[in-house]
Amino acid sequence: MRVVVVESDSVNQKEFTVLCGTLEFEVEAYRTPEELEQALMDGPSEDRDLFCIYQHDESPAIYDLCRSIRAAPTYHHSPMLMLYPELQPDLVGRAMAAGVTETFAVDQKVQLTAFLRRFGEFRQKISGHVLLVEDSISQQRLARAILEDVGLTVETAVDVPAAWSLYKKHIFDLVITDLVLAGDDTGMALIQRIRRLETEKGDTPIIVMSSYDDDARRVELFRLGVNEFISKPIFFEELVARTRYLVLNSQLKHEVHEQKQELEKKNRFLNEYIGRISHEFRNSINVELGVAKMLEKKAGFDERQKELVGMVKNAAEHQLCLVNDILDYMQMESGSLRLDEIPCLIHEVPKTIAGMFSYKCEDSPLQISYSVANDVPEEICVDQTKLNQILMNFMGNAVKFTVDGEVQLDLSLEQKDGQDWICCQVRDTGPGIADAEREDIFLAFNQTELGKNETQSTGLGLAICVSLAELMSGHLAVESEVGKGSCFSYTFPMQLVH
């Protein structure tokens, strides 16, 4: 690409030349407007893609030069930049009136570089496959030559049957069609055929070219699924610009679709693989747990032997916890979690969960308690397994980090926006959570500083709870004060059993 620069200051001219060199632009440099005027008089060159003119004073010669460039048919649509020592509204207005397209201050080097880089990208050749449907052979040949000049592969047809045959045979990044075509069918018939396809080919971008330009027709075409409309006679710079945008967008969309399919394929394989091995993992771990529990009950072991059996049992429980967390997280990421809402005796839920942790805390000073408000119904419809999982996670964290004091599980009924909600809260008298850590505590693999010292944790528990809560149309919250304790809550809409 060639850039023409007019600048009397050799330092500025050199800086601009170096900048263009980094962008792989060729520079044609002049020191005065008169030098460029003479070059233009010697004959226009189609190789000049962009003009950049420095203006240091209010001399009319610069603006006359701009008008001369714009008046030349070869450069009628060429971008023209003007650089000032300092931008002023009246100077910018004069420049625009003379045909300048963009203005910059000399010190706006970053903005100028960005403009030139994007302009260079716009002028680069692109690859793509285009179907051009035009019954005027002269118009077809001209449009084809212009599109092929920017790097595109173009297939042509003069009527709908021939175009449809090509469309079924090839994959196209873009379809460009006239409305009035040879034969009985119009371009609208081709558009309808394409848009009625259920496959990805039905989403191929379409540009319509037509001399019938009225608002009603445009609206009708856009409703059919046309992406762009170009009025005839065609301004080919506009055709190239719209074609470039739609082809690149179509290719990007196709690439994203392929990557999505590949990721889904890998995700399915991973889930199937984990599903196969999870059963074996759990079987082995449950055998370890069973043997350890049997040995715990066996008499005759000395203290050291009991300690070793306890270590085996704890290790097995830790392994089972890790496997379950990982499997739950994989299900969550793959979107395969499903609700199984059945009648549930909700009063029994906190009783059962509190009882389990009371058993675990028999030999510690920690007190486990629970309560259910009187207005909570005896029976509701809920996915009890997922509800238990959330509450078990809350209770497990509270018990893990609370050395003494109390952990309490409460169920109550709330009303919000005319809807009854069940609120489950787990309060503890543990160390609490700092404000900075509380913001990200529900993110996967994120733990508090205290949690990072806990070896039996994956950092997935609360992230899994978030997904479970969203699946059940509920939400999680946490309140905490360092040194006094925390309160984790889960609130979900109550659904009575009918």
More confident site: 435 or 106: 106
More confident site: 79 or 339: 79
State residue 225's pLDDT score.
92
Q: Are 99 and 72 in contact (CB under 8 A)?
A: no
Indicate whether 329 and 361 sit together in one domain. Answer: no
State residue 380's pLDDT score.
92
Evaluate whether residue 246 is within a structural domain. Answer: no
* Predicted structure pTM score: 0.54
Residue 272 has pLDDT above 70, yes or no: yes
- Domain final residue, candidates 315, 334, 353: 334
Q: Are 246 and 207 in contact (CB under 8 A)?
A: yes
Indicate whether 133 and 226 sit together in one domain. Answer: yes
Question: pLDDT digits over 410-464, tens only?
Answer: 999 999 888 999 999 999 998 888 887 777 777 755 555 555 455 455 567 788 8
Evaluate whether residue 250 is within a structural domain. Answer: no
Nearest residue to 158 via CA among 135, 175, 141, 142: 135
CATH of the domain at 146: 3.40.50.2300
Indicate whether 28 and 146 sit together in one domain. Answer: no
Indicate whether 311 and 350 sit together in one domain. Answer: no
Indicate whether 146 and 222 sit together in one domain. Answer: yes
Residue 370 has pLDDT above 90, yes or no: yes
Evaluate whether residue 322 is within a structural domain. Answer: yes
- Domain final residue, candidates 64, 88, 123: 123
Domain tally for the chain? 4
**Containing domain of residue 272, as a range?**
257-334
Measure the N-to-C terminal CA separation of the chain; round to a whole number of Å.
74
State residue 366's pLDDT score.
84
Across residues 187-212, what is the average pLDDT? 92
State residue 455's pLDDT score.
46
Task: Tell me the H-state helices in 336-410.
Answer: 348-360, 384-401
Peptide bond preceding 233 in cis form (omega within 30 of 0): yes
State residue 295's pLDDT score.
85
- Domain final residue, candidates 74, 96, 123: 123
More confident site: 59 or 167: 167
Indicate whether 356 and 487 sit together in one domain. Answer: yes
* Residue 106 parent element (H or E): none
Indicate whether 271 and 227 sit together in one domain. Answer: no
Nearest residue to 316 via CA among 334, 296, 300, 298: 296
User: CA 477 to CA 438: how far, in whole Å?
Assistant: 10
Q: Sign (positive/negative) of CA torsion 118, 123, 124, 127?
A: positive
Indicate whether 481 and 356 sit together in one domain. Answer: yes
Number of C-beta neighbours around residue 413 at 10 A: 15
State residue 403's pLDDT score.
83
Residue 185 has pLDDT above 60, yes or no: yes
Question: pLDDT digits over 35-86, tens only?
Answer: 888 888 877 676 788 999 998 877 888 888 889 888 888 888 888 999 998 8
Evaluate whether residue 251 is within a structural domain. Answer: no
State residue 450's pLDDT score.
54
State residue 287's pLDDT score.
84
Indicate whether 487 and 354 sit together in one domain. Answer: yes
State residue 232's pLDDT score.
87
Nearest residue to 490 via CA among 389, 377, 358: 389
In this structure, the strands spanning 405-416 and 366-372 are parallel
- Strand extents, DSSP E, 298-404: 342-345, 366-372, 379-382
Evaluate whether residue 245 is within a structural domain. Answer: no
